Amino acid sequence: MTELYINSIRILDIVHGTSVDGPGLRTSIYGAGCTHQCPGCHNPQSWDPSGGTSVSVREVAEEVLAEGLDVTFSGGDPMFQPEAFTLLAKIIRANSTHDIWCYTGYRIERLFSDPRRRALLEQVDVLVDGPYVQSLRDLSLLFRGSANQRLVDVPATLAQGRVVLYTPEDVTYEYISKPRQAILPSSPMRATAVSILEHSNAL
């Protein structure tokens, strides 16, 4: 892997102040490239790995840090550019206390044994995992589109060696206009442990 590749990242868009990609107002970074190509995907233009614009990882980090919001990696699939997103996450962590969410079409169990993608995983607070499955679409779900997808508490999962689900409590919604906005109170999250073996057949 060349240094040039690691220090640059292909970005489709950076959106500040979004409330649909995790709790609170966030900066969402949409990376180019996705091989999952889920039927019904709301962003099929993100599949092309040559899409968007190639920019410096540090340039993106400076913009994120200047905005001062928590961060979400989306796409596309950030795991398609794991080295670049890992570097971006490390810079953000070294210079802020922002939490980092990441969306991926991979199940987290697949990422444990992939050194490149696990490196990114280790920088993430919450992983929204699994492909979008159109037949399982559920508009009532929080921060995800289909019932197979999970909100995974990554630090707890890595520490315990089993999947620990992140579940914010007492969430209400404001249906002001599309997109849906989730309003989360300042209550502690509830974590639910799930055996990795229980989900291994879904890989």
Say if CB 120 and CB 78 are below 8 A apart.
Answer: yes
Domain that holds residue 126: 3-202
**Residue at token pair 């639910």:** 192
CA–CA distance, 123 with 101 (Å, rounded to integer):
9
Q: How many domains does the chain have?
A: 1
Alpha carbon separation from 6 to 30, 141, 154 (Å, rounded) = 17, 35, 23
Q: Which tokens go with 141? A: 């779900």
Whole-structure pTM value: 0.78
DSSP 111: H
DSSP 7-70: HEEEEEEEEEEESSSSSSSEEEEEES--S---TT-S-GGGG-TT-SEEEEHHHHHHHHHHHT-E
pLDDT for res 203: 35
**Across-strand partners of 129?**
150
Asked if residues 84 and 75 have their Cβ atoms less than 8 Å apart, the reply is no
The two structure tokens encoding residue 91:
């810079």
Sequential pLDDT tens for the chain (203 residues) = 334 446 999 999 999 999 999 999 999 999 997 877 666 666 766 666 667 899 999 999 999 999 999 999 998 899 999 999 999 999 999 999 999 999 999 999 999 999 999 999 999 999 999 998 888 989 889 899 889 999 999 999 999 999 999 987 644 433 333 343 433 333 333 343 433 333 333 33
pLDDT of residue 55: 94
Q: Tell me the backbone φ, ψ of residue 113, rounded to 5 degrees.
A: -95, 5
The pLDDT of residue 47? 60
pLDDT at 188: 33
CATH number of the CATH domain containing 140: 3.20.20
User: Can you give the pLDDT at residue 168?
Assistant: 74
